[in-house]
Every structure is written in structure tokens, then in C-alpha cells.
Structure 1
Amino acid sequence: MTPLANHPLSLRLAVSDLAMIDRAAMLRGRSRTEFMRDAAVRAAEEALLESLPIRMSPEGFEEFLAVLATPGTAVPEMVEVLQRPAPWERAS
């Protein structure tokens, strides 16, 4: 297969799904085909990456476990954000 080969793909979509895809493609300035191809390739990449095993040496694994066992360090900015009341908790 050459990199520029075209292979048609047919999908059956509900009218509402097609309308949403067309609207999103328009917002991105893409054609329906480009938008769907990009979305499908991105989803395929994510699925493949999720299934790849992570390999490391026994020494590397021990270092990894040691880092996980080390207590974390508070990030002051994050602590402040997490202590703020949620918008729905604020008095009107």
C-alpha cells in the first residue's frame, strides 16, 4: 500500500450524528472526511498506546517503586486552588 493510496470507507450514521460531525468539522475548518479520518486515527493511536506494555530493567523498576513510595511534596498553588470554595458553595 502506498502512503497516498485511497481506500473508501462507508459508515451508517444517524442524522443527528452526521449533523454533529459536520458542525464540528466546520468549526475546525475541515471537511467531513478530514475530520472523521483525524478522529479515527487519533482514537486508534490511543487504543494502541493503551495496550503497549511498559518495559524496564529490574533496577529501573526498583527505582520506580522507590519514587512511588516517597511522600509527595505539596505544591502551594495547588493547595490554594483545592481549598477554594466551589462556585456553587459561594454565598450569593
Structure 2
Amino acid sequence: MTSSDVLSMYENIAGLTNQMAAAARIGDLDRLGKLEGQCATEARAAGAGVPALSGGQRLRKIDLLKQILANDREIRDITEPWMNAVPGLTRQ
């Protein structure tokens, strides 16, 4: 995996989590679930021999990670109250 591949992967994940947040905002849980699956598939690649980045590429990766985490927080803020209200629903 090249450094360009790494950035592309993180850009794809950031885009998917942005779409997930949008789906959560409008309550489209079917779309949210489908996007979550795509995101998980993409994220699995993050553990497979990802080279370290430096300089501007490292800063871009950090920016993308911040976006991903912000999207994740928004999704959780929207979905956790619903999940906590459903009896017997287990979070993974």
C-alpha cells in the first residue's frame, strides 16, 4: 500500500462516515446500516500493512481522522438514545 493509497482509504472512510451522519440525521437507518457495512469493509484495510506518513500527508491523515471521529460522535449522539430505548438491543 502506497502513501497515496493510505490517504485515499482515509478519504473514502471520511466520506462514508459523512454519509452515515447524514443518514442518521434524517433517520434513514437502513441506509445507515448499509453504509456502516461499507465503512467496516474499508476500515479493515487500515490494519493491513499501512505505511507511516510524514509531512503534509501525515497532517492530511490527521485531518481525515478528526473528520471521521467527529462524524462518529454525531452518529452516536443521534443513535444511542434510540438504541438505549429499545429493550433487549445490544450494542456491539
Q: TM-score scaled by structure 2? A: 0.29
Choose between structure 1 and 2 for higher RCO, CA contacts under 8 A separated by at least 6 residues: 2
Q: TM-score scaled by structure 1? A: 0.29
